[in-house]
Chain A
């Protein structure tokens, strides 16, 4: 079979189960394409030899009852993988090899998938363009010198370029949905508490959530079904009834009420985003959904709130990288000197900026004005959604306020970079599920995404809406393999 890497996850699973393809054939195809795609810089750590060995072992005694039988997969380098270097895109963890496996990746291997390597990301998932990675920029396969979004930029690039059939990312303020939108792929940020955070390098604990990234909604549903489990090792994991998301997937969304929040019409929004949103509304209507205008009055405060809460938690979460126990250490005259040198040399500029912001907002005398106030606003933002969901089943918005931008375009303007998360951040603050699906192209031919936001634990509903709309939208990614010589 020639174009193995062009197949969707569902097709690959079907072909392996039908013994039309072996895991070795599939793994070899993705490894070969990955090797030819080094210019994308999607990988931080490659583990191809092991992957091929594992595929061989799988083929010797294939268990075809598994959900991901012998499927090769690369994952974001924020997930700790046993015996394989895990860097979080940072120099400070450049040499760190975990002795343990994250719950989410363990769930994936338990269903038969095979690890190919670790994908690039913004340092400690702090960034919207993958430009803060210690391991360099990632190219968007859509066009040369275009960012793939971030922080799961290696993941979005690898899925769009078909270096991996599916992948997982993490989303703290939009880090799955924004890169999915920038690369014409599908990304789901699950309800907070749906996927275990155990073994994921922490950025902002109350916002971090792992989720699937795929080429289509069905693949996304299948992977979500595998990774979402209750985990006693994560105290914020929630024990609720999880669906068989892929089996229960349906395009019948007739009568579903979809809300359109007026506050998401931001002043600076390009016309093509406005047009995309209007098109999205028409697609939803075509699918039989009912469109209802709603208000989420505190939307404006979401971004400033996020940029207080997330750095505050990060400043504390990243305190453990001190050169004492593991990771990078710079020698110093004494303990304090060693700390200062290790953290100055080990962390990049964006991470240092957020640690400083976070330290500041938690300082005595500023705590009430910043952190405590932000927590109160966060509650108001959540209340907005609760009120809205009394009237609607889901909410439709653009995923991002623009299409992908050029590498280097926003690196000196952090605020403009932060604005990229304006539509995704409220969802994290409220702990809700949100999915980005590709819905069109801008004038330059770059993909644009629409976001469907659901009620807590209602992933099935937004997957169904996305599944129905996906068919109507009939999106095609224009990828020319320009990076393959």
Chain B
């Protein structure tokens, strides 16, 4: 395997293979109630406590569309810079399974609510655009639980009927790293919009991964395999790596690739065949006669547009232009809405440059160490900006500030109080500093003489001594100036 720049290629003998990846992401719509019923959607509820007669498909029960979910899907479409279809149609996807009470899933097949769009990825060697094919609304199925009883399968219908957005990318992704960046970007956009919480542990974001390989330079796509229902970025990357290599091995061996659906075994780190194209379900899609085509007006869409917050790409642009951040810094700060909110709160009352460094540096490191999210930060944005102001106005040095910061991490204390209580205020009074410096020079007469005779390296020794004697509180800039004069 070789990587020139960020190009991801698989080498076998004299051949180089490119990997082509497309994703079908299933994102759970953030909504109090389900797509076609009023049942609650809380995660982790007792099994079968969030199930209505509609969700359990009782005779004569009918679906009624949840307008809020429609709005969420359209907002997501706007966030993906996509075409919003004013008319879309709900279809039935027919198949039998114990956790699919209706015997069909209500989905959108021919006429999805959102059409083509795009997502911009920031890769190490520049930006990359990934095309979005479509976004459609559909119902989730329930959950079959096979491991609670040796003979029986249990079914939990809490998830049955929960609204999902299926976001289908074009086959534009070329490496596991790009997949990582794509999922993170998608997640970020949806979290900015409040349309999906992106929680992969809870299954709010899952993906089917389509993988094919082709010789580098080829314009034709190879035969693809679909890896079903992968629920973490790491597993997606591992699955792609395994699957791409498996396909290359087959081709190198003179064999052909069967178009099929595969499963990723996370324990064995391999994909294996689930069903071939011949065994593929015939889902007998047809428009759901219980639901009229979904029609939305221009006004409806315009109103939603006015509710769209500033999204990561725009925010990044603004941070760079307005605050003179580097693209690297801006990327980090906008990657997630909570971080960017925190940042913007800090800089309301303090220096941008210092704030950027302190957040990306000290704060992130400290949070990482404690395994905390920015929303759980022990230091509020207000107190961090106070700390930065203390540095900026010379009340404390950067070094002292780190001590104060550590104490703030133990509990959100006002940095001013910490400085006062512990007497950490920086000594910036020239007279006091002169006295200190005189004493240090007196105590080190021999070294002072050596310095004067040309051993200039000793200047650092004197700075260190002054700082030590002052308990780190001496203003380093002033110490420098005075020392130069005195020596």
Contacts and interface: CB of A to CB of B under 8 A. Distances in A.
A335 B155 CA distance: 13
B62 A320 contact: no
Interface string A301-338: 00000000000110110111010111000000001100
A367 to B, nearest CB: 7
6 contacts: A80-B60, A86-B59, A100-B53, A235-B63, A316-B104, A320-B103
Interface in B58-82: 58-65
Contact of A204 (B61, B65, B103, B289): B289
Contacts of B65: 235
A253 B92 CA distance: 45
Given A205-B289, A235-B290, A316-B104, A362 B60 contact: no
A364 interface: yes
B103 to A, nearest CB: 2
Given A86-B59, A93-B59, A197-B60, A320 B101 contact: yes
Contacts of A93: 59
A325 B56 contact: yes
Given A316-B103, A324-B98, 16 more contacts: A98-B60, A99-B53, A100-B53, A202-B59, A233-B62, A235-B291, A313-B289, A315-B284, A319-B96, A319-B103, A320-B103, A326-B58, A335-B98, A359-B284, A367-B285, A367-B286
A471 B147 CA distance: 71
Contact of A363 (B56, B60, B155, B284): B284
B403 to A, nearest CB: 64
A320 B282 contact: no
B94 interface: yes
Given A312-B286, A322-B103, A198 B53 contact: no
Report, nearest first, the 8 A-B pairs whose CB atoms are least far apart.
A319-B103, A205-B289, A362-B284, A206-B289, A199-B60, A320-B57, A201-B59, A80-B60
A244 interface: no
Nearest to A200: B60
A117 B47 CA distance: 36
A171 to B, nearest CB: 16
A322 B60 contact: no
A117 B285 CA distance: 38
Nearest to B286: A362
A124 to B, nearest CB: 10
Contact of A316 (B61, B98, B286, B292): B286
A367 B291 CA distance: 20
Contacts of B64: 232-233, 235
Q: Which of A86, A202, A363 has the most CB of B within 10 A?
A: A202
Interface string B288-308: 011110000000000000000
Q: Which of A197, A201, A324, A371 has the most CB of B within 10 A?
A: A324
Nearest to A196: B62
B212 interface: no
Given A206-B289, A322-B96, A96 B102 contact: no
A88 interface: yes
Contacts of A88: 59
A145 interface: no
A294 to B, nearest CB: 29
B101 A234 contact: no
Interface in A342-393: 359, 362-364, 367, 371
Nearest to A206: B289
Contacts of A243: none
A213 to B, nearest CB: 19
B287 to A, nearest CB: 9
A204 to B, nearest CB: 7
Contacts of B98: 324, 335
A102 interface: yes
A29 B60 CA distance: 32
Contact of B59 (A96, A324, A335, A371): A96
A236 B57 contact: no
Interface in B282-338: 282, 284-286, 289-292
Contacts of B155: 324
Contacts of A335: 97-98, 153
Contact of A98 (B59, B92, B291): B59
Contacts of A313: 289
B104 to A, nearest CB: 6
Contacts of B57: 320, 325
A475 interface: no
Contacts of A363: 282, 284
A339 interface: yes
Q: Which of A234, A235, A371 has the most CB of B within 10 A?
A: A235
Interface residues of B, number: 30
Interface of A: 80, 86, 88, 93, 96, 98-100, 102, 197-202, 204-206, 232-236, 312-313, 315-316, 318-320, 322, 324-326, 335-336, 339, 359, 362-364, 367, 371
A86 B286 CA distance: 28
B66 to A, nearest CB: 12
Contacts of B60: 80, 98, 102, 197-202
Contacts of A318: 103
A23 to B, nearest CB: 28
A462 B311 CA distance: 59
B290 A205 contact: yes
Given A335-B98, A359-B284, A320 B289 contact: no
A335 B464 CA distance: 79
B286 A371 contact: yes
Contacts of A234: 62
A474 B314 CA distance: 79
Interface in B7-23: none
Given A201-B59, A235-B64, A235-B292, A316 B101 contact: no
A93 B96 CA distance: 19
A319 B104 contact: yes
A366 to B, nearest CB: 10
A39 B251 CA distance: 74
Contacts of A312: 286
B102 A320 contact: yes
A400 B285 CA distance: 34
B92 A316 contact: yes
B223 to A, nearest CB: 20
B63 A320 contact: no
B35 to A, nearest CB: 13
A364 B284 contact: yes
A400 B53 CA distance: 38
Given A205-B290, A235-B290, A335-B98, A320 B284 contact: no
A291 B62 CA distance: 42
Given A204-B289, A206-B289, A359-B284, A325 B101 contact: yes
Contacts of A201: 59-60
A103 to B, nearest CB: 9
B1 to A, nearest CB: 40
A425 B170 CA distance: 45
A80 B60 CA distance: 7
Contacts of A315: 94, 284
Q: Which of B53, B60, B65, B103 has the most CB of A within 10 A?
A: B60
B94 to A, nearest CB: 5
Nearest to A199: B60
Interface in B22-64: 53, 56-64
Interface string B146-160: 000000010100000
Nearest to B90: A235
B325 to A, nearest CB: 50
Contacts of B285: 362, 367
B290 A362 contact: no
B284 A98 contact: no
A359 B283 CA distance: 10
Contacts of B289: 204-206, 236, 313
Contact of B62 (A86, A197, A325, A362): A197
B100 to A, nearest CB: 9
Q: Which of B53, B56, B58, B97 has the most CB of A within 10 A?
A: B58
Contact of A364 (B53, B103, B282, B290): B282
